[in-house]
């Protein structure tokens, strides 16, 4: 998903040009002394004001940098200060304020304030405030405030507030507030406030206040293999799935998890292997144990533990004696 959006951003931006095979000569008119002052052209190192049509393989530019066009930058290049351009600015590392009418690109990391018409992309970290019309993409951590018209993507942790019109995605942990019109997804844990018009999904744990219009869930996946471990043979046992839980206050049309902990409110269904707390839905279904209160039209639990009870039109506790398994209005452990 992230690679597709990154490719789309580059195509739209017209910035998918490969790096130069040969280093182009640097030509500039410098009005200053010892790389300080005002420079017109592709000066490789400069402090002050630098105005250039197209950047080549520059090294270190600090101050105000205005560039119309930036091909794929070099990894060891640095921009510090205020940088603005049409397609760009771009560098290995960008620190400060970066403004791109089409895009802002960093190969290693980006820090400060970044704003682009289409995409803000970093192959490493993005820290600070990022605003993009199409997508904000970080292949490393994304920490701070990220605002995107369609998608906010990070391959690892997101920390802070991320808001997207379509999708907020992290293949690691999310911490803070994550707002999305359609879906918020993390293959790791989420902590804080997660709000989505469509779905909120996590591979392991949702914790805090979780709000979704259509679906909310944490799915148990097989535990990853340890690095350096020998390959399993055909007769080896399949590792048990990791526990995935939804914890805290959860509100959605449908809530599905390995474990439901806290207060869960669903317009249609709450389904889990284990529930501890309070669950309110038209259909409550808990495959193993329920410890708490289930309120709905139809409630099912394989077993009740502690203070567990069901309030609804039809209540079913599979472990109860045959005549007490199905009861109207109220059921508990007998």
Q: What is the pLDDT of residue 40?
A: 94
Q: In the predicted model, what is the mean pLDDT of residues 102-117?
A: 93
Q: Of 86, 93, 78, 171, nearest to 126 (Cα)?
A: 93
Reported as a single tens digit per residue, the pLDDT across 62-94 is 999 998 887 778 888 999 999 999 888 999 999
Looking at residue 282, what is its pLDDT?
97
Identify the bridge partners of residue 196 per DSSP, sorted by sequence position. Answer: 180, 212
C-alpha 324/C-alpha 334 separation (Å) is 8
Over the stretch 191-250, which tens digit does the pLDDT of each residue have?
A: 888 888 888 888 778 888 989 998 988 865 444 444 444 444 555 455 555 578 899 999
pLDDT at 241: 53
Question: Which residues partner with 247 through β-bridges?
Answer: 207, 261
Alpha helices, H only, the chain? 2-13
pLDDT higher than threshold 90 for residue 311: yes
Q: Which residue has the tokens 């895009």?
A: 103
CA angle 30, 107, 149 (to 5 degrees): 105
Give the side-chain half-sphere CA count within 13 A for 271: 10
Cα(98)–Cα(96) distance, rounded to whole angstroms? 6
Q: What is the pLDDT of residue 2?
A: 47
**Side-chain-side CA neighbours of residue 155 (13 Å):** 13
Distances in whole angstroms, Cα of residue 248 to Cα of each of 118, 204, 222: 36, 14, 24
Q: Is the pLDDT of residue 29 over 70?
A: yes
pLDDT single digits (tens) 249-276: 999 999 999 999 999 999 999 999 999 9
Share of the chain above pLDDT 70, in %: 84
Which two three-digit tokens encode residue 106? 């960093």
Q: What is the pLDDT of residue 252?
A: 95
What is the predicted pLDDT for the residue at 289?
96
Q: Under 8 Å CB-to-CB from 193, ≥6 apart: which residues?
A: 176, 177, 178, 208, 209, 211
Evaluate whether 283 touches 268 at the Cβ level (below 8 Å). Answer: yes
- What does the pLDDT average to over 7-22? 44
Note the pLDDT tens digit of each residue in 274-309. 999 999 999 999 999 999 999 999 999 999 998 899
Domain ranges of the chain: 35-171, 178-220+242-334
Residue 191 tokens read as: 């902590």
Q: Is residue 188's pLDDT more than 80?
A: no
* Peptide bond connecting 93 to the previous residue in cis, omega within 30 degrees of 0: no
Three-state SS annotation for 76-87: CCEEEEEEEEEE
| pLDDT > 90 fraction of the chain, expressed in percent and rounded | 51
* Residue 73 confidence (pLDDT): 81
Tokens of 255: 């809530």
Mean pLDDT throughout 126-130?
94
Q: Model confidence over 32-70: pLDDT tens digits?
A: 898 999 999 989 999 999 999 888 778 999 999 998 887
Mean pLDDT across 22-37: 79
Across the chain, what does the average pLDDT equal? 85
| Global pTM value | 0.73
Residue 26 pLDDT > 60: yes
């Amino acid at each position: 998903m992230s690679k597709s959006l990154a490719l789309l951003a580059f195509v739209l931006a017209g910035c998918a040009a490969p790096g130069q095979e040969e280093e182009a000569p640097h030509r500039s008119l410098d009005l200053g002394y010892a790389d300080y002052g005002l420079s017109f052209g592709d000066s490789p190192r400069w402090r002050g004001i630098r105005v250039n049509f197209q950047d080549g393989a520059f090294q270190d530019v600090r101050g105000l940098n205005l560039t119309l066009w930036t091909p794929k930058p070099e990894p060891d290049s640095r921009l510090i200060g205020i940088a603005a351009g049409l397609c760009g600015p771009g560098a290995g590392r960008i620190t400060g304020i970066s403004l791109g009418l089409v895009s802002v690109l960093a190969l290693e990391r980006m820090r400060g304030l970044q704003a682009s018409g289409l995409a803000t992309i970093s192959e490493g970290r993005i820290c600070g405030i990022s605003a993009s019309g199409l997508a904000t993409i970080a292949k490393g951590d994304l920490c701070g405030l990220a605002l995107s018209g369609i998608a906010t993507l990070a391959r690892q942790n997101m920390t802070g507030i991320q808001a997207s019109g379509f999708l907020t995605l992290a293949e690691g942990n999310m911490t803070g507030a994550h707002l999305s019109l359609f879906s918020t997804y993390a293959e790791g844990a989420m902590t804080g406030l997660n709000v989505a018009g469509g779905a909120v999904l996590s591979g392991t744990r949702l914790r805090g206040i979780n709000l979704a219009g259509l679906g909310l869930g944490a799915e148990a996946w097989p535990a990853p293999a340890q690095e350096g471990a020998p390959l399993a043979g055909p007769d080896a046992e399949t590792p048990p799935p990791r526990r995935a839980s939804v914890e805290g206050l959860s509100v959605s049309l449908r809530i599905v998890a390995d474990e439901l902990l806290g207060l869960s409110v669903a317009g249609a269904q709450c389904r889990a292997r284990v529930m501890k707390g309070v669950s309110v839905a038209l259909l409550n279904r808990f495959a193993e144990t329920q410890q708490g209160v289930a309120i709905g039209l139809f409630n099912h639990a394989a077993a009740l533990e502690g203070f567990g009870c069901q309030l609804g039109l039809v209540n079913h506790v599979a472990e109860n004696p045959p005549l007490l398994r199905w009861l109207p209005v109220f059921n508990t452990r007998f």
